[in-house]
């Protein structure tokens, strides 16, 4: 059974019809399965129900649909492939207040700068040199190419705030507290759409400037950054930053 939260209104939400819950589970959580004709019909009913009631799934808006008006209502955009590169990575240099990044995997990544390709670390270094705080959470040690690039930018040694947490699997970006990305892409060339079309991963995510949704993304990041789950964590032996988190 899928629990749908309250709608965005002052009125109390009612229980979603059974066909909505079943369709949500079958047509959304198992999108890799070819939908039967009946499920497809139920899914259309589900989308109509969403449009008419304002219900949305688990605070991150309901799944992909072609109802563009509803997406615009919440200032939410679904992006894939090069869209992640163009609308997330290429926005990072425009950061003016702070930048938060979270990834599971971390490898060398290149990005356009002044008509040439440079390591993404150079962009982060530029921000740090401007006095803009940059925080990065990742789940494992970066690859050797990343470490070599890191050594080329001394500003990052003390300027980049970094936390390694082996339990992190979310991938997100927050820019200046007004823009957020949340999706499947790791901070790698293949993940962020920086590689060619026949080499990059198949990734997807959402970007938004909706204040409530941005706050949700920031809340998740900040909880890990501040060590909210450290005391009860059962993977402490894998966490090299544990001593700093409890000091």
Give tens-digit pLDDT for 115-165.
Answer: 898 989 999 999 999 999 999 999 988 888 888 889 999 999 999 999 999
- Partners of 77 in beta bridges: 207
- Other C-beta atoms closer than 10 Å to the C-beta of 22 total 15
Q: Which CATH number fits domain 78-229: 3.40.50.150, 3.40.1280.10, 3.30.870.10, 3.20.20.80?
A: 3.30.870.10
What residue ranges of the chain have pLDDT lower than 50?
1-36, 55-67, 70-71, 246-247
Return the pLDDT at 85: 87
Report the alpha-carbon angle 52-56-60, nearest 5: 145
Neighbours of 134 (CB within 10 A): 20
pLDDT of residue 73: 54
**CB neighbours of residue 60 within 10 Å:** 15
Distance CA 61, CA 52 (A): 14
List b or e across 23-53, with b for residues whose CB sees 16 or more CB atoms inside 10 angstroms: bbebbeeeeeeeeeeebeebbeebbebbeeb
* pTM exceeds 0.85 for this model: no
Sequence spans of domains, the chain: 18-65, 78-229
Any idea how long the chain is? 247
Rounded Cα distance, 138 and 161, in Å: 11
């Amino acid at each position: 059974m899928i629990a749908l939260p309250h709608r965005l209104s002052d009125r109390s939400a009612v229980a979603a019809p059974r066909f909505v819950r079943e369709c949500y589970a079958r047509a959304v959580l198992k999108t890799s399965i070819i939908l039967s004709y009946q499920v497809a019909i139920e899914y259309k009913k589900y989308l109509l129900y969403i449009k008419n009631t304002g219900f949305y799934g688990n605070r991150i808006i309901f799944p992909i649909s072609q109802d563009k008006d509803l997406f615009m209502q919440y200032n939410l955009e679904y992006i894939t492939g090069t869209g992640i590169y163009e609308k997330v990575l290429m926005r990072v240099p425009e950061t003016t207040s702070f930048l938060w990044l979270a990834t599971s995997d971390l490898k060398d990544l290149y990005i356009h700068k002044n008509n040439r390709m440079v390591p993404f670390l150079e962009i982060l270094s530029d921000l740090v040199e401007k006095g803009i705080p940059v925080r990065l959470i990742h789940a494992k040690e970066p690859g050797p190419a990343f470490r070599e690039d890191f050594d080329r930018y001394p500003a990052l040694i003390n300027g980049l705030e970094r936390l390694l947490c082996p339990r992190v699997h979310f991938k997100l970006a927050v820019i200046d507290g007004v823009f957020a990305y949340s999706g499947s892409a790791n901070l790698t060339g293949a993940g962020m759409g920086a590689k060619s079309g026949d080499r990059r991963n198949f990734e997807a995510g959402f970007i938004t400037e909706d204040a409530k949704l941005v706050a949700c993304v920031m809340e998740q990041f900040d909880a890990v950054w501040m060590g909210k789950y450290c005391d009860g964590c059962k993977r402490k032996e894998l966490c090299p930053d544990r001593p700093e988190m409890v000091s």
